[in-house]
């Protein structure tokens, strides 16, 4: 064994190898050379040249997580999150690839802006960052962005981020054009006129708290409208952070009809319901809002039966001035990229999903949707890896999180699942004590 401060490879031994793409689940070794996986199995020959020997001690070794929905705030909102701090939080959470929403200031709606974000992210030499591009100019919903040029510049998909594209004719044109370039359209599913003025889920809790509610039908109405348009155009369409039983059922039926539709949910919609808002907790204010317990269970079932394809963090950093407000005036959004794995592992510990099935929603599935060379353990694949203990307990504390913002909805929660090391292209970008 040889080890030094600048290895060109590594040999990870005594690991529980997990590959959701192939169903691999066995104890073994993994070899990395020049940033590429060159061997998976048992009793592998060491890499050529300088290398590091990592004894995993039986911990899980899986593809690094692929987060297909996050916001880092730079440029324009650096006081909430910078690319560097967001990347650091991602690495601590085992995330190796992040797709960033275009809702910056200015928004990512032209090739120069998109290339600026991509170039600055590469300079960090940390997690891999893939920018979305805006679907409409200025995220205003009035005029389509130059989808073809943005696609050529590297946009992984198109979305207006936290804004729904309300104009049906505009969405139809976007879907039709996206079909010609095989691009993915991602929609925030909320009918704006119905949601206007609402600050939480509409129901008994909102009435009791005296807060304006957002009706659940605002979500399914937008999803059903768009699915009609998808049927007309044959486009690839993705429902972001679906949160209601009715909308999940609409996606389920659309998939059964063969439409090219996919959906995602978030850790907070998996784990929390509208009661989190009790006490006017602004750190539980998100968009779409936390729903009823019936809806939360429908989200879990949607994941289990394959209707929901992906878990994404929906990391949305806010500063204290934006959250320390009366509930109605406070900003929506929670951070979550660092806690995505630990919170989601609850489904595994509760026996509701297998470990491989759960990891698939955060690795291989989002990588496939976005067309990324990521999300699997395979010879020839980039060595983007996470080494974690699925059983290790810890308490989430905002003081212990790496994000610049601290607006977690899980403050003080006990979770199981701790990341020990994260590697990108074979380089360690995060390392917890010990391994």
User: What residues act catalytically?
Assistant: 314
Tokens of 120: 């600055």
Q: Which residues pair with 184 in a beta bridge?
A: 236
Q: CA angle, 137 as apex, 131 and 184 as ends, to 5°?
A: 45
What residues have CB less than 8 Å from 100, skipping those under 6 apart?
70, 71, 72, 108, 117, 121, 129, 130, 131, 132
What residues have CB less than 8 Å from 329, skipping those under 6 apart?
none
Q: Evaluate whether 66 touches 36 at the Cβ level (below 8 Å).
A: no
Residue with the two structure tokens 């192939």: 22
Residue with the two structure tokens 């790496």: 402
Give the helix/strand (H/E) hosting 227. helix 217-233
Q: How far apart are CA 352 and CA 192, in angstroms?
A: 34
Residue with the two structure tokens 């605002």: 218
Q: How many beta carbons lie within 10 A of that of residue 53, not counting itself? A: 14
List C-alpha distances in Å: 364 to 62, 210, 310, 327, 377.
11, 43, 9, 37, 10
Q: Evaluate whether 299 touches 270 at the Cβ level (below 8 Å).
A: yes
Residue with the two structure tokens 């006990």: 414
Q: Which residues pair with 415 in a beta bridge?
A: 394
Give the helix/strand (H/E) hosting 19. strand 9-19
Residue with the two structure tokens 């989200």: 299
Which one-letter DSSP state was computed for residue 144?
Answer: B
The tally of CA atoms less than 13 A away on the side-chain side of residue 259 is 26
Q: How far apart are CA 435 and CA 431, in angstroms?
A: 7
In 3D, which of 312, 350, 392 has the Cα closest to residue 57?
392
In 3D, which of 92, 138, 93, 78 has the Cα closest to residue 317?
78
Which one-letter DSSP state was computed for residue 315?
Answer: B
């Amino acid at each position: 064994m040889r080890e030094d401060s600048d290895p060109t490879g590594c040999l990870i031994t005594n690991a529980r190898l997990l590959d959701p793409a192939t169903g691999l689940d066995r104890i073994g070794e993994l070899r990395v050379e020049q940033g590429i996986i060159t061997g998976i199995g048992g009793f592998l020959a060491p890499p050529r040249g300088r290398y590091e020997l990592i004894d995993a001690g039986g911990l899980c070794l899986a593809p690094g997580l692929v987060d297909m929905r996050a916001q880092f705030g730079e440029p324009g909102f650096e006081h909430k999150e910078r690319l560097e701090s967001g990347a650091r939080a991602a690495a601590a959470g085992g995330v190796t690839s992040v797709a960033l929403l275009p809702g910056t200031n200015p928004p990512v709606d032209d090739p120069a802006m998109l290339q600026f974000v991509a170039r600055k992210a590469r300079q960090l030499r940390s997690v891999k960052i893939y920018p979305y591009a805006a679907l409409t100019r200025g995220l205003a919903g009035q005029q389509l962005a130059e989808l073809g040029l943005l696609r050529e510049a590297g946009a992984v998909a198109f979305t207006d981020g936290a804004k729904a594209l309300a104009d049906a004719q505009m969405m139809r044109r976007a879907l039709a054009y996206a079909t010609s370039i095989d691009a993915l359209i991602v929609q925030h599913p909320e009918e704006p006129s119905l949601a206007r003025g609402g600050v939480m889920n509409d129901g008994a809790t909102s009435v009791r708290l005296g807060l304006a509610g957002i009706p659940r039908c605002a979500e399914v109405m937008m999803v059903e409208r768009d699915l009609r348009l998808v049927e007309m155009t044959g486009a690839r369409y993705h429902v972001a952070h679906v949160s209601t039983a009715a909308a999940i059922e609409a996606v389920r039926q659309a998939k059964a009809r063969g439409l090219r539709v996919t959906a995602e949910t978030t850790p907070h919609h998996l784990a929390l319901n509208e009661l989190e808002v009790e006490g006017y907790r602004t750190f539980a204010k998100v968009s779409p809002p936390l729903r009823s317990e019936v809806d939360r269970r429908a989200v879990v079932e949607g994941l289990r039966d394959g209707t929901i394809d992906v878990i994404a963090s929906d990391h949305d950093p806010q500063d204290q001035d934006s959250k320390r407000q009366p509930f109605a005036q406070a900003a929506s959004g929670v951070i979550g990229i660092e806690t995505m794995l630990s919170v989601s592992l609850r489904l595994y510990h509760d026996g509701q999903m297998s470990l491989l099935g759960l990891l698939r929603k955060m690795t291989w599935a989002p990588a496939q949707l976005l067309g990324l060379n990521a999300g699997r353990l395979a010879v020839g694949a980039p060595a983007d890896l996470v080494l974690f203990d699925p059983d290790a307990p810890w308490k989430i504390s905002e003081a212990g999180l790496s994000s610049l913002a601290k607006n977690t909805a899980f403050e003080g929660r006990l979770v199981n699942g701790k990341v020990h090391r994260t590697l990108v292209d074979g380089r360690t970008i995060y390392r917890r004590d010990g391994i």
